[in-house]
Amino acid sequence: MHPVIVLTAMSNAISSGRLDLIIKLRRLLEREGFPVASGKTLTPDPRGLPRTDLKVQEMTELRQNPDLRFIMDVSGGDTANELLAGACDLMPGDPLPDSVLPGKDVIFMGYSDLTALLNAFYAIGGRRGALFSGMNALGDTTGNRLRELLDFLKSPSSRSPLVTPRGGFRRGKKMQGTVIGGNIRCFLKLAGTPYMPEPDGKVLALEGLNGNPERLISYFAALKTLGITARVSGIVLGTFTEIKAKYPDTDPLDLLSPFIPRDLPVWETPEIGHHRDARGIMIGAEYVFTENGCLGTGN
């Protein structure tokens, strides 16, 4: 029997139009033999707003399901860190109660705003998660992401093609470390909280959707002032969508360079980002990056 998957929305509330696509994804997975359930957070809110209590309740209940293997979050937006704030009320003084952490054998999957949860789950509970949107299985017309997603769900590994994006070095020749990061804006929401992973020796992955060059500079400057860029072992640059579309002559590496050590390796990939055929990467998993690509170590 295939592992159990629950679809959730831990960020913004789901619109009725997006819900139709989510139903399509669920049926697709069920046709492949996967038991799929829809979480309470997938119910559209008439106000169009998320609910903190519902998110906390859902994660608490999912923790009690011994058959659950994947939490596939199909939302995005701005409010994923609402779960972190709500969880603090359960046990004052405990930064993230075990009751709202994914089980040790459960992989949380999400992208964009879910960056905040992926990194918090790793920082507090040592959980590995996939920076990937299951909706890309619908968006990629070649069918490649669907095949890779199905293979990953059957046998999840940081060596799976779904989470080993192709790329190459812009600076340096090799780097290795546990991957943290994701969407740069949403990663920075963790600044000053217990949910920010310790950066020492880590590989920091960065991508972004909206933002002109000035905004991206401000994000990179924030990473420096937080002391993060001086402590990581390397950086993965994904796609910065608005920069690519509206400022094609602007190189994100040129914007980043003033804020990182001169000898820090930078590996670039077009396959991590907000485009519909994007691959992902495992947050909390160790990778080796070379001129030929990247591969998880399996640890």
Domain harbouring 147, CATH code: 3.40.50.10740
How confident is the model over 191-226, as pLDDT tens digits? 999 999 999 999 999 999 998 999 999 999 999 999
pLDDT at 87: 84
Same domain flag for 215 and 262: yes
Whether 72 contacts 34, CB under 8 Å: no
CA dihedral 149, 150, 155, 159 (to 10 degrees): -30
Whether 7 contacts 108, CB under 8 Å: no
Per-residue pLDDT at 94 exceeds 70: no
Strand partners, 227: none
DSSP state of 66: T
Same domain flag for 120 and 183: no
Which amino acid does the sequence have at 120?
A: A
Give the end of a domain, one of 154, 186, 203: 154
Same domain flag for 188 and 145: no
What is the distance between the alpha carbons of residues 288 and 267, in angstroms, rounded to a whole number?
A: 11
Q: Tell me which residue range forms the domain holding 170.
A: 161-296
Query: b/e string for 57-93 if b means 16 or more Cβ within 10 A?
Result: bbbbebbeeeebbbbbbbbbeebbbbbbebbbeeeee
Same domain flag for 122 and 166: no
Mean pLDDT of 158-176: 96
Strand order through the sheet with 286-290: 168-171, 266-268, 234-240, 203-208, 175-183, 286-290, 293-296
pLDDT at 160: 97
3-state class of 285 per DSSP?
coil
3-state class of 46 per DSSP?
coil
Same domain flag for 177 and 201: yes
How confident is the model over 229-285, as pLDDT tens digits? 999 999 999 999 999 999 999 999 999 999 999 999 999 999 999 988 899 999 999
Q: How many domains does the chain have?
A: 2
Band (187; pLDDT cuts 50, 70, 90): very high
